[in-house]
């Protein structure tokens, strides 16, 4: 097992990794920016290192500073969490070169699956269906020709990265030039790569993903699917497992495709294979080569600590269970509580004056905030993940509604009222929703 793990992240995911390390008896090191001095994840770690000023590019994304911090404290492993450097194949490659284990897949795998064009090609080769579309089309003429052949509407997507950036829906030919330029500019700013590709647009799809775990011996298992279709501008807001629209037959197809995808890229560690589901048609979207924000949903129904599993796999241990030994029970929901206006979605940084989380059976809060915490304008607006688990979906919704009603955050605006509205929305209660529900 590792002697010391440095967490190259902040906020709730950094605290989550610290807690997993404590379970395994591993000392931890928290890095932090000047804006995060004194935050909860910094207080919880055994050691701390400041890696730069508030701007992420000069701190959490500063690879030389992060590696220097790891070497200065003698850390032999780095957990990148999600976001920041988590899907940087360059960072993983540098870690390999200096002999520090990055807790995640190999650099080559991150590079292969992080580029949506190469990932699509690999899936086609291994018989996993992909959304109709084309390879990279950087010029307007090439993109227009393919869009005309496919028929509008279409989606333009960044070839690198994810998180909803570099994506534009194009309803007709007249809108294509501006959409292409905007997507390329956004992709360049977010990922340093302006390459894009084009896909067929579906009007009422579901976004379904499958959690997988794989060890170095080639054993791969899944923990069922998560439905992440409640989104705004491609940003997930609510996740649940199991999906209310996935029956046993479709679940078998989805999970088998996910396992095939993981084996195709010789995957190790925790990963998520994402699909677009249109009726009973299933198409591969991408593979996230990291732990995801919504991973606790799968933990709630499986009883498996995914972050502990990540660390154990990275340390060379085999998966301790076969697929038959994994039993998924009940229903879980997650609401992402963001520091945003629930009506305009404008960010709401500031000082939290009151923070009273809910409790009770089947309720879980993942957060790194409390009374007096400062929500910085420099980073993501996520301040808490509220999860519930219950025997049935109806009971889970009722439990989530009660928990949201009890959750009190003052001093800033949050998305709590939005989530309360959703828990009483007829379409959500019926499970009759799509990725377009909030965007129209």
Q: How high is the pLDDT of residue 62?
A: 97
Asked if 235 contacts 164 with a C-beta cutoff of 8 angstroms, the reply is yes
Q: Compute CA 234 distance to the chain's CA centroid, rounded to the nearest angstrom.
A: 12
Lookup: tokens for 364? 């879980």
Task: State pLDDT tens for residues 60-79.
Answer: 999 999 999 999 999 999 99
Q: How high is the pLDDT of residue 138?
A: 61
Q: How high is the pLDDT of residue 17?
A: 98
Q: How high is the pLDDT of residue 203?
A: 83
Degrees, nearest 5: CA angle 310-315-320: 65
Residue ranges and CATH numbers for the domains of the chain are 5-103 (3.40.50.20), 132-200 (3.30.1490.20), 206-430 (3.30.470.20)
Query: Could you tell me how many helices (H) and strands (E) the chain has, helices first?
Result: 14, 21
Residue 10 confidence (pLDDT) above 60: yes
Averaged over 156-175, what is the pLDDT? 83
Classify strands 331-338 and 235-241 as parallel, antiparallel or unpaired.
antiparallel
Q: How high is the pLDDT of residue 199?
A: 86
Beta bridge partners of 282: 277
Question: 213 or 436: whose pLDDT is higher?
Answer: 213
DSSP 109-131: HHHHHHBHHHHHHHHHHTT--B-
Q: Return d(Cα 296, Cα 301) in angstroms, integer.
A: 9
Q: How high is the pLDDT of residue 135?
A: 57
Q: Return d(Cα 292, Cα 299) in angstroms, integer.
A: 12
> What is the edge-to-edge ordering of all strands in the sheet holding 154-158?
133-136, 196-200, 154-158, 167-170
pLDDT confidence bin for 365, thresholds 50/70/90: very high
Lookup: tokens for 219? 């054993």
* 290 included as an active-site residue: yes
Q: Return d(Cα 393, Cα 333) in angstroms, integer.
A: 8
Task: State pLDDT tens for residues 343-353.
Answer: 999 999 999 99
Q: How high is the pLDDT of residue 8?
A: 98
Residue 303 confidence (pLDDT) above 80: yes
User: By three-state DSSP, how is residue 139 classified?
Assistant: coil
H helix intervals, 243-294: 248-264
Beta bridge partners of 269: 214
Averaged over 208-228, what is the pLDDT? 98
The pTM for the full model equals: 0.91
Task: State pLDDT tens for residues 275-300.
Answer: 999 988 999 999 999 999 999 999 99
Q: How high is the pLDDT of residue 161?
A: 65
DSSP 335-351: EEEESB-TTT--B--EE
Lookup: tokens for 260? 């095939």
Residue 130 confidence (pLDDT) above 80: yes
Q: How high is the pLDDT of residue 56?
A: 96
Q: How high is the pLDDT of residue 160?
A: 75
Averaged over 37-64, what is the pLDDT? 97
Q: Return d(Cα 320, Cα 23) in angstroms, integer.
A: 16
Q: Return d(Cα 96, Cα 36) in angstroms, integer.
A: 28
Residue partners of 291: CB distance under 8 A and separation at least 6: 13, 81, 82, 86, 270, 306, 307, 310
Ranges of beta strands (E only) in 9-102 are 28-33, 47-52, 77-79, 101-102
Question: 226 or 146: whose pLDDT is higher?
Answer: 226
Task: State pLDDT tens for residues 182-212.
Answer: 988 888 887 788 888 888 888 889 999 999 9
Q: How high is the pLDDT of residue 162?
A: 65
Residue 50 confidence (pLDDT) above 70: yes
Task: State pLDDT tens for residues 77-106.
Answer: 999 999 999 999 999 999 999 999 999 999
Query: What is the distance between the terminal CA atoms of the chain, rounded to a whole angstrom?
Result: 50
pLDDT confidence bin for 112, thresholds 50/70/90: very high
Residue 364 confidence (pLDDT) above 70: yes
Q: Return d(Cα 45, Cα 51) in angstroms, integer.
A: 15
Active-site residue, from 290, 336, 393, 399:
290
Q: How high is the pLDDT of residue 163?
A: 63
Residue 146 confidence (pLDDT) above 90: no
Task: State pLDDT tens for residues 398-417.
Answer: 999 999 999 999 999 999 99
Q: How high is the pLDDT of residue 440?
A: 57
Would you say how long the chain is, in residues?
440
How is residue 318 annotated by DSSP?
P
Question: Rounded mean pLDDT of the chain?
Answer: 94
Of 355, 388, 397, 358, whose CA–CA distance to 374 is shortest? 355
């Amino acid at each position: 097992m590792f002697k010391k793990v440095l967490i190259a992240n902040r906020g709730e995911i950094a605290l989550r990794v610290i807690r997993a390390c404590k379970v395994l008896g591993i000392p931890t090191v928290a890095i932090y920016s000047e804006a995060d001095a004194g935050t909860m994840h910094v207080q919880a770690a055994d050691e701390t290192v400041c890696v730069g000023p508030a701007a992420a590019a000069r701190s959490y994304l500063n690879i030389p500073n992060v590696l220097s911090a790891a070497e200065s404290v003698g850390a032999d492993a780095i957990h990148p969490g999600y976001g920041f450097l988590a899907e940087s194949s360059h960072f993983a490659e540098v870690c390999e070169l200096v002999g520090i284990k990055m807790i995640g897949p190999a650099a080559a795998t991150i590079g292969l699956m992080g580029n949506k064009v190469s990932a699509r090609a690999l899936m086609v080769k291994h018989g996993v269906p992909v959304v109709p579309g084309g390879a990279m089309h950087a010029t307007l003429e090439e993109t227009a020709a393919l869009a005309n052949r496919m028929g509008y509407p279409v989606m333009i997507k960044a070839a690198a990265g994810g998180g909803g950036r570099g994506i534009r829906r194009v309803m007709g030919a007249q809108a294509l030039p501006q959409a292409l330029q905007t997507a390329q500019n956004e992709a360049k700013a977010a990922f340093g790569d302006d390459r894009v590709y084009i896909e067929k647009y579906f009007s009422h799809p579901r976004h379904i993903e499958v959690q997988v775990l794989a060890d170095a011996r080639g054993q791969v298992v899944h923990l069922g699917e998560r439905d992440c279709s409640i989104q705004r501008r491609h940003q997930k807001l609510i996740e649940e497992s199991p999906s209310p629209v996935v029956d046993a037959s479709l679940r078998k197809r989805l999970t088998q495709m996910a396992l095939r995808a993981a084996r195709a890229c010789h995957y190790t560690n925790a990963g998520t294979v994402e699909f677009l589901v249109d009726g009973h048609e299933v198409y591969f979207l991408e593979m996230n080569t990291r732990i995801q924000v919504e991973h606790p949903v799968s933990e709630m129904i499986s009883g498996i600590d995914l972050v502990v599993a990540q660390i154990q796999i990275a340390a060379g241990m085999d998966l301790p269970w076969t697929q038959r030994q994994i039993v998924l029970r009940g229903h879980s929901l997650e609401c992402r509580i963001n520091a945003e206006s629930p009506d305009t979605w404008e960010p709401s940084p500031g000082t939290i004056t009151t923070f009273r989380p809910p409790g009770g059976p089947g309720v879980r809060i993942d957060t790194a905030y409390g009374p007096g915490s400062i929500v910085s304008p420099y980073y993501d607006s996520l301040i808490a993940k509220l999860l519930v688990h219950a025997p049935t979906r109806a009971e889970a919704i009722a439990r989530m509604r009660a928990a949201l009603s009890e959750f009190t955050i003052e001093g800033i605006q949050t998305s709590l009222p939005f989530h309360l509205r959703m828990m009483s929305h007829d379409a959500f209660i019926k499970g009759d929703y799509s990725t377009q529900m909030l965007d129209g």
